[in-house]
Amino acid sequence: MSQKIGLLIGTNRPEAMSLEMAGYYENKLISSGAEIIKIDLSKLPPDFAFSALYHNKGKHEDFNLFQESLDSVDKLIFFVPEYNGSFPGVLKTFIDGLRFPDSFRDKKIALVGLANGVQGNAIGLSHIGDILSYMGANVMGLRVKLGEISKHFDGKELSHPMYDQFINTQIEKFLNF
Amino acid sequence: MSQKIGLLIGTNRPEAMSLEMAGYYENKLISSGAEIIKIDLSKLPPDFAFSALYHNKGKHEDFNLFQESLDSVDKLIFFVPEYNGSFPGVLKTFIDGLRFPDSFRDKKIALVGLANGVQGNAIGLSHIGDILSYMGANVMGLRVKLGEISKHFDGKELSHPMYDQFINTQIEKFLNF
Amino acid sequence: MSQKIGLLIGTNRPEAMSLEMAGYYENKLISSGAEIIKIDLSKLPPDFAFSALYHNKGKHEDFNLFQESLDSVDKLIFFVPEYNGSFPGVLKTFIDGLRFPDSFRDKKIALVGLANGVQGNAIGLSHIGDILSYMGANVMGLRVKLGEISKHFDGKELSHPMYDQFINTQIEKFLNF
Amino acid sequence: MSQKIGLLIGTNRPEAMSLEMAGYYENKLISSGAEIIKIDLSKLPPDFAFSALYHNKGKHEDFNLFQESLDSVDKLIFFVPEYNGSFPGVLKTFIDGLRFPDSFRDKKIALVGLANGVQGNAIGLSHIGDILSYMGANVMGLRVKLGEISKHFDGKELSHPMYDQFINTQIEKFLNF
């Protein structure tokens, strides 16, 4: 039975490493028969932080397409680069624009951190994990933290000996989560 | 099919409210056909922080019985009172004495916070959630946070109109987690 | 000797309670002789998440005025409402647009959480505290967490018996921090 | 004017790397004229988690000597190894045994994380930072995170090119904090 999985690229930075890593996961997931949908925050309306939140919530047609993509999946993998010691602000702003309170309720979520520093965004994954828990999502315990990512990933291939193994383990567990 | 669920009382305080709350959950869980085992940290060997850790790990027979209880279940509910703005130190010390690294791997865990303050140990549950995620457990997103607990719980009955409903929802989700 | 203190309103929601609470603090601070500057995220350029970050960093004149305001003060008070169990995404997006890495280095910061829930954004203050620590700021330990704020604050007066006392203590400590 | 600084070794593991790192800091601090007092949790009464907490709080003479040491200093440096993805449980258990609520109020604290993993206990420092903030201490923003410590520290000398520089910066800021 085929699963539909959303890959959420957690930044709006153009040509982000997170987007490339989502592609890396996509190839593996497709091999396992999963259907993939990408949710790429770099495609958000540029003024969405004002035009899609608060009194405008639910009224912005282009933003609503993101909500529909999210609503169409029960499982998501978040790709979360480290900016200033945590997740990108735009990721939380995106969440703040979503329908309240059920947008993530009971969804199953895996987290992937990316950073040029050694820590692989451990703190940022802790923060986003708190938020997703608050919203009623079930976040898989095993988190992949890819530190020094520029050194180990050229956008297509991973050179770090352990990273590919971590990813395979995470994907296998997530397909059964 | 019957489930076996461990109730971990996360403090060694004698006659703790957490122990009584575990009893409150036990009654509900037994009605649903689950088998219950209690892991009560007040029964730990008094010097376990020295006699069961580090070079003594695995060598303390009384502590090993706790490890065996833990190993016998796939699901656990943690009852976590708030001490100094987080979980009790003894809970983490207990974890530090367990076999490394697989003691919680792939186990399914629900969290219940208890506090006399209004926050119901939200921060403590965040901290213990990070630790359990690090250890490879899957912590259910929905956490029950019981603030002002002395005011609302006499050890047997809950007087807060919402708390019983929160608990029923958590238990129902947890049995299917 | 007069101090100059920045009040950062951590949301772009129009007519936010955080803005009104900043006004409440302003009145008290002015009485103590401090000079006040407000940094109100609702005045940010609507598309700043795209037009002031990444390859555009430092190039957006209107955004740069925010950077200049920030650079002009050594002390800041952050007013942080709770959205989805943490701080507003727009606050972190604002931080992600600032000059790296010294925008908060060695600055002294106090945190005020606001929420309609009982917890007063304790988790959100923990998260933003991590980020500010990462950036080298010194965050004062005493944090004011104003839960059920709509019930206790009409935009001008506080009706909660303890809240005004908490705020006075925080301000007194902060002026000497 | 001489400062008195407490070095808190945050584990009871015998011959801990944290104890050796405290010695490394001590040498530097003494050069700057500070007076040093060590608070070494490996010297705690073995059953303190039971005999010095709850109804026994304040009654255990050997534990009370730790309280007195703590009370004698306004500044502390915590040496915090990473156990199971956070601080050692014994550190929090020690805190749970201290006089409530003023044991850390207004004290100035610097944090040093040590780990064999790459992350240098970033998550554990975040957790202990929350707890110390809750208790009213002011934790310096700059935290030193010493990852892969066994590889870089032989108990006396640091071989990592940056670590000594990080430590010198932290000490310099802390003496002026």
Return the CATH class of domain B4-175.
Answer: alpha beta
Neighbouring residues of C4: CB distance < 8 A, sequence distance ≥ 6: C34, C35, C36, C37, C72, C73, C74, C75
**C52/C45 Cα distance (integer angstroms):** 9
Residues C91-135 pLDDT 10s: 999 999 999 999 999 999 999 999 999 889 999 999 999 999 999
User: What pLDDT tens digit does each residue of chain C (177 aa) get?
Assistant: 589 999 999 999 999 999 999 999 999 999 999 999 999 999 999 999 999 999 999 999 999 999 999 999 999 999 999 999 999 999 999 999 999 999 999 999 999 999 999 889 999 999 999 999 999 999 999 999 999 999 999 999 999 989 999 999 999 999 999
User: What pLDDT tens digit does each residue of chain B (177 aa) get?
Assistant: 589 999 999 999 999 999 999 999 999 999 999 999 999 999 999 999 999 999 999 999 999 999 999 999 999 999 999 999 999 999 999 999 999 999 999 999 999 999 999 889 999 999 999 999 999 999 999 999 999 999 999 999 999 989 999 999 999 999 999
Is the pLDDT at A1 greater than 70? The verdict is: no
User: What pLDDT tens digit does each residue of chain D (177 aa) get?
Assistant: 589 999 999 999 999 999 999 999 999 999 999 999 999 999 999 999 999 999 999 999 999 999 999 999 999 999 999 999 999 999 999 999 999 999 999 999 999 999 999 889 999 999 999 999 999 999 999 999 999 999 999 999 999 989 999 999 999 999 999
Read out DSSP for C90-151?
HHHHHHHHS-TTTSSTT-EEEEEEE-SSTTTTHHHHHHHHHHHHHTT-EE-S--EEE-SHHH
Q: Which subunits count as partners of chain C given 3+ CB pairs below 8 Å?
A: A, B, D
Neighbouring residues of D101: CB distance < 8 A, sequence distance ≥ 6: D135, D136
Burial string for A31-70 (b: 16+ CB within 10 Å, else e) reads eeebebeebbbbebbebbbbbbbbeeeeebeebeebbeeb
Cβ C134 vs Cβ A85: under 8 Å: yes
Residue B15 exposed, middle or buried by CB count within 10 Å (0-12, 13-18, 19+): exposed
CB-based contact (8 Å) between A136 and chain C?
A: no
**Chain C hits for A133, Cβ within 8 Å:** 85
**Chain C hits for D133, Cβ within 8 Å:** 129, 139, 141-143
Instruction: Give the residue extent of every domain in chain B.
Output: 4-175
Q: Quick one: which of D149, D77, B133 has its CA closest to A118? A: D149
CB contact under 8 A, B141 and A140: no
Closest by Cβ to D129, choosing from C129, C135, C137? C129
Q: Which subunits count as partners of chain D given 3+ CB pairs below 8 Å?
A: A, B, C
Kindly state the average pLDDT of the residues A76-104: 98
**B84/B13 Cα distance (integer angstroms):** 14
Best probe of the A interface among B106, B108, B109, B130, by most A CBs < 10 A, is B130
CB contact under 8 A, D84 and B93: no
Tokens of A91: 């990721």
C-beta atoms surrounding C5 within 10 Å: 24
- B vs C: CB pairs below 8 A: 19
**D9/D77 Cα distance (integer angstroms):** 9
**D106 φψ region: left (φ > 0), alpha (ψ -120 to 50), beta (else):** left
The per-residue pLDDT for A38 is 98
Closest by Cβ to A138, choosing from B134, B136, B141? B141
Residue entry with tokens 């988690």: D49
What percent helix, strand, coil does chain C show, rounded to 5?
A: 40, 20, 40
The per-residue pLDDT for B161 is 83
CB contact under 8 A, B118 and C123: no
Q: Calculate helix-pair angle for C89-97, A89-97, nearest 10 degrees.
A: 150
Q: Quick one: which of C28, C21, C136, C31 has its CA closest to C79? A: C21
Neighbouring residues of B159: CB distance < 8 A, sequence distance ≥ 6: B151, B152, B153
C-beta atoms surrounding D156 within 10 Å: 9
Q: Which stretch of DSSP H or E encloses residue B56?
A: none
Residues C62-71: contacts with CB under 8 Å, at least 24 apart? C63/C97, C66/C39, C66/C94, C67/C98, C67/C99, C67/C103, C69/C6, C69/C37, C69/C39, C70/C6, C70/C39, C70/C98, C70/C103, C71/C103
Peptide bond into C45 cis (omega under 30): no
Please name the residue of chain C whose CA is at the shortest distance from the CA of residue B121.
Answer: C119
CB-based contact (8 Å) between B147 and chain C?
A: yes
Read out DSSP for B117-147?
STTTTHHHHHHHHHHHHHTT-EE-S--EEE-
C-beta atoms surrounding B160 within 10 Å: 15
CB-based contact (8 Å) between B169 and chain A?
A: no
Residues A135-149 pLDDT 10s: 999 999 999 999 999
Kindly state the average pLDDT of the residues A12-23: 97
The per-residue pLDDT for C79 is 98
Tokens of A29: 């997931």
**D28/D30 Cα distance (integer angstroms):** 6
C-beta atoms surrounding C34 within 10 Å: 17
Cβ D21 vs Cβ D29: under 8 Å: no
The per-residue pLDDT for D2 is 80
